[in-house]
Structure 1
Amino acid sequence: MAAGLSRTIEVGGPRPYAVHLGADALARLAEHGSPGRRVLVVHQTGREALAREAAAVLAGAGAAPVLAEVPDAEAAKTAQVLAGLWTRLGQEGFTRSDLVVGVGGGATTDLAGFVAASWLRGVEVVHLPTSLLGVVDAAVGGKTGINTAEGKNLVGAFHPPAAVLCDPAWTTTQPRADYVSGLAEVVKCGFVADPAILDLVEHDPAAATDPAGDPALALELVARAVQVKADVVTADLTESSVREVLNYGHTFAHAVEQVEGYTWRHGDAVSVGLVYVAELAHRAGRLDAALRDRHRSVLDALGLPTAYRAGQWAALRSAMGRDKKTRGSTLRFVVLDGLARPGRLEGPAEEDLRAAYDAVSGTP
């Protein structure tokens, strides 16, 4: 990342904190170290070097860091991995004044956050997200959790971090397909709240998918997406009302992830989920055809998937029934009534649900 490019975004609410984007992100971790403070540095496989750098910064501030490696991606978000980290905390004698640091993508920060939320009913956590998805979505907002066989993120807690620190250059070292996948969450923010994001992406899709090519554009897209999430979370930490808009496209996306055994990238599933919910909203008379079609065109331009395989409706419908927004047997979707005008659709007609799937799967 070019020198001097940085942005700090404040997240308000009952436990305010800052999201800092810049080349000095790692150095700022020293602010969370202190003499004798134990720190569990939870890092995903492949991020050992950065985890060691983080540990060195903490040690330089007098803290006592301990490294704990966890599997990559959704394989980290299991009860077995969580229990192993609890064991490590107990063995190291962690107290309420100690700290957990999450280093890695969104799955790692989800897990590290839940470890911190559940240990002694809550210790501080600082996130160092290394993926685009991690910085614009998982690490910000205080949602933590793990998956079960019955669904994604069904076990978790709201536990805001003490800080989120990200050098956008870290995201340039992730596989390109993973970076592009993360753009689905950025595009989602454009549809629900900040249309300037869509304008930036549509103006030059090739530049948007190349974080190393135009660092200023990459920072602008990340900062805008983080600001959308910060604004929503500040108003509604516990997803009791307005925060549900951040789940736009996620009801179908989470169903796809479950049906696929969590082998799909989250952003890829969200991309298809955005197309699905736009189709559903159009069929329910909530969204015009032009904006429905813009979903597909923006995502296509970025090289994101906009279709899902046929023959899976029964499994998908069952999975959607276990979505966190469902109340009783009534499905609830975040939809758009216009650009940046999110609303809710409760109890959509079964024929509309199926027709939207047929449109996404190419079923005649």
Structure 2
Amino acid sequence: MASHANKPLMVQLAERSYPIHIGSGLLNQISTLLPQLPPQIFILTNTTVAPLYLAQLQQSLAESATEHQVVVHQLADGEQYKSLESFAEVMNTLIGASFNRDCAVLALGGGVVGDLAGFAAACFQRGVDFYQIPTTLLADVDSSVGGKTAVNHPLGKNLIGAFYQPQAVVIDTDCLNTLTERDFHSGLAEVMKYGIIHDAEFFTWLETNAAKLVARDSAALTEAIARSCAIKAEVVALDEREQGVRALLNLGHTFGHAIEAASHYGEWTHGEAVAAGTVIASNLAMAMQLITASDFRRIVALTKALGLPVKPPQLAWDTWLSYMQRDKKVQAGKLRFVLPTAIGSATVTSQVDPELVKAAIADVS
């Protein structure tokens, strides 16, 4: 597999195209990487990330030729804080600081921070610039790229949001050193997804390098992040608003979001839920004769090798159904599933017998 590490990546969206910077020590280079930042800067972060990286970011901003008014808002840490209540608090802070339409919102944190910051930026003054500075592996390879922004509702995940692209993404791989084991492994679920849906060669590379990735080998991680971002950038450029091929990026998410919502956004991480959801989707695909038993075994084996769960929590079928029916991929009242058709390819279909879905869940539970 050709190396994609340390090469600049672009998300090609005509006049809204933007760069993805990937490398070590980039937090110290923010003023150089983002020289166009306006005088008013709003940083959204959380209470876990702030003690680790906020001062470093602020110092980098202070080295800019522009004098900045910097306002920081810290969330408590957790998926449950990706809420309308948190959104209102962010709006109160922005308005209270007299920020105007020329401000910029910087997201310093994981997926929760990035999704909320992007949604706030999309809504404040009808849209202000925002920048993604992800600090988790999951955010590096998934939520920071592509412009999906949202908050959760108690009845479903990401039901309130907007498509709103960042001006740039800065991925400092050094931030991965402070992740907990659980959060680190969670990010690997989204990395694996790209191999399953789009790139058989990358999937094979992941199988070969699983032990290095789990050990946080720097070179392997940088390569995995760069390749994942390159695939996502390619898909987003083809289908920004998820009318077609971008839906394939939701492999495992219909089941995964149901797991997260049913467990009240706290017991399972997003990556853990997506991993278990991917195994269910792959089992369903095997039952429908879309993939071979051999491919299914490879997916299960890689999931385990990356330290991720393959079994979902014990939920009643009615619970599964109620949460899946609120999924954003439901169309005309029909559930739509992303299913692998081989290692390296997938499809979206609504032609699925509910009894097969029920059996696929039960079979891996």
Q: TM-score, normalised on structure 1?
A: 0.94
The residue identity in structure 2 corresponding to 1:48 is A
Q: Give the match for residue 191 of structure 2.
A: 186
Match of 1:360 among 357, 361, 364: 364
Q: How does 1:9-28 map to 2 (within 5 A)?
A: 9-14=9-14, 15-28=16-29
Q: Give the match for residue 112 of structure 2.
A: 107
C-alpha contact 1:78 1:148 (8 A) present in aligned 2: yes
Match of 1:227 among 227, 230, 235: 230
Deviations 1:248-297 (A, max 9, x none): 11100000001111111100001001100011111222222111221111
SS of 1:156's equivalent? Answer: strand
Deviations 1:292-326 (A, max 9, x none): 22111110112210002334221011100111110
SS of 2:7's equivalent? Answer: strand
C-alpha contact 1:7 1:22 (8 A) present in aligned 2: no
For 2:209 and 2:149, the matched residues in 1 are separated by: 34
SS of 2:133's equivalent? Answer: strand
SS of 2:8's equivalent? Answer: strand
Instruction: Tell me if 1:239 matches 2:233.
Output: no
Q: Give the match for residue 56 of structure 1.
A: 59
Identity within the alignment, %: 34
Match of 1:130 among 131, 135, 138: 135
CA drift at 1:33 = 5.5
CA drift at 1:35 = 8.5
Deviations 1:137-186 (A, max 9, x none): 11111100000011000000011101110111101211011101110000
CA drift at 1:197 = 2.9
C-alpha contact 1:105 1:131 (8 A) present in aligned 2: yes
For 1:153 and 1:285, the matched residues in 2 are separated by: 31
- Aligned residue pairs, count: 355
For 1:157 and 1:36, the matched residues in 2 are separated by: 23
SS of 1:7's equivalent? Answer: coil
The residue identity in structure 1 corresponding to 2:331 is R
Deviations 1:31-64 (A, max 9, x none): 5466861111101112224122212222332221
For 1:18 and 1:239, the matched residues in 2 are separated by: 21
Q: Could you say if the C-alpha distance between residues 267 and 311 of structure 1 is closer, same or farther in structure 2, counting changes exceeding 3 Å?
A: closer
Larger deviation, residues 240-249 vs 287-296 = 287-296
Q: TM-score, normalised on structure 2?
A: 0.93
Instruction: Tell me if 1:160 matches 2:165.
Output: yes
C-alpha contact 1:39 1:63 (8 A) present in aligned 2: yes
Q: Give the match for residue 6 of structure 2.
A: 6
SS of 1:281's equivalent? Answer: helix
Q: Could you say if the C-alpha distance between residues 220 and 142 of structure 1 is closer, same or farther in structure 2, counting changes exceeding 3 Å?
A: same
The residue identity in structure 1 corresponding to 2:39 is R
C-alpha contact 1:249 1:334 (8 A) present in aligned 2: yes
Q: Give the match for residue 274 of structure 1.
A: 278
Instruction: Tell me if 1:319 matches 2:320.
Output: no
Match of 2:294 among 280, 290, 294: 290
For 1:35 and 1:267, the matched residues in 2 are separated by: 32
The residue identity in structure 1 corresponding to 2:237 is T
C-alpha contact 2:25 2:173 (8 A) present in aligned 1: no
Please give the root-mean-square deviation of Cα atoms over the aligned residues, in Å.
1.6
Q: List runs of 5+ in structure 1 lacking aligned partners.
A: none
Q: Give the match for residue 254 of structure 1.
A: 257
Q: How does 1:140-179 map to 2 (within 5 A)?
A: 140-179=145-184
For 1:59 and 1:65, the matched residues in 2 are separated by: 10
Q: After TM superposition, which residue ranges in structure 1, 4 or more long, deviate above 3 angstroms?
A: 31-36
CA drift at 1:24 = 4.2
C-alpha contact 1:33 1:58 (8 A) present in aligned 2: no
The residue identity in structure 1 corresponding to 2:349 is L
The residue identity in structure 1 corresponding to 2:46 is Q
